[in-house]
Amino acid sequence: MTLENKTVAFLVGPEGIEQAELVEPWKAVSEAGGTPRLVSKDSGTVQAFNHLTPADEFPVDVTLDDASADQFDALVLPGGVANGDQVRTFPAAVSFVKAIADAGKPIAVICHGGWVLIEADLVRDRTLTSWPSLQTDYRNAGATWQDQETVVDEGAFTLVSSRKPDDLPAFNRELVRAFE
């Protein structure tokens, strides 16, 4: 599998990103020959966490003000409760995610990263998974929620979803396949 000549956006908030859910998919994209780019609201760095403990900081490559769907071939939405909750409150993030989906580009989401998909009204009539506490949110937004390691829903855009850090090997395999 190769992602040569593919640029993948990783959209995150300023803090609260679950570090493994950023680092491991980033590594999978890089190892497959793709170019991962960190997109966030502001320039500078973002703060990742290992659950509730602060972990590493990561430099932002592109701010939401400068990001557009035509710059990217795919999108990853890492989890983390605070991260997912923040991202959905940024109108520019919601617009960016909607533009990626409207362009038919694949999106991979894990854990709490999907709140922005709900905010953008992109889960209606789709099947996916997430951290279990989001299942009611997804169902209320018109999605079918399943408790599975990874769900791939082919539709107007491919949607790869996963529940938690333990699912990262399957998530990474499926996102690389979908982004190819």
- Provide DSSP, 28-69: HHHHTT-EEEEEESSSSEEEEEETTEEEEEEE-SEEGGG--G
Question: Comparing C-alpha atoms, which of 140, 159, 143 is closest to residue 151?
Answer: 159
Active-site residue, from 22, 111, 117, 134: 111
Residues 178/158, Cβ–Cβ less than 8 Å: yes
Is 110 among the catalytic positions?
A: no
Q: How many CB atoms lie within 10 A of CB 1?
A: 11
Q: Is 20 helix (H, G, I), strand (E, B) or coil?
A: helix
Active-site residue, from 6, 37, 88, 112: 112
Is 111 among the catalytic positions?
A: yes
Q: What is the largest CA-CA distance in the chain?
A: 38
Pairing status of strand 144-145 against strand 127-128: parallel
The token pair at 125 is 């009539």
Q: How many CB atoms lie within 10 A of CB 134?
A: 24
Cα–Cα dist 91/163, whole Å: 25
Q: Which residues are catalytic?
A: 111-112
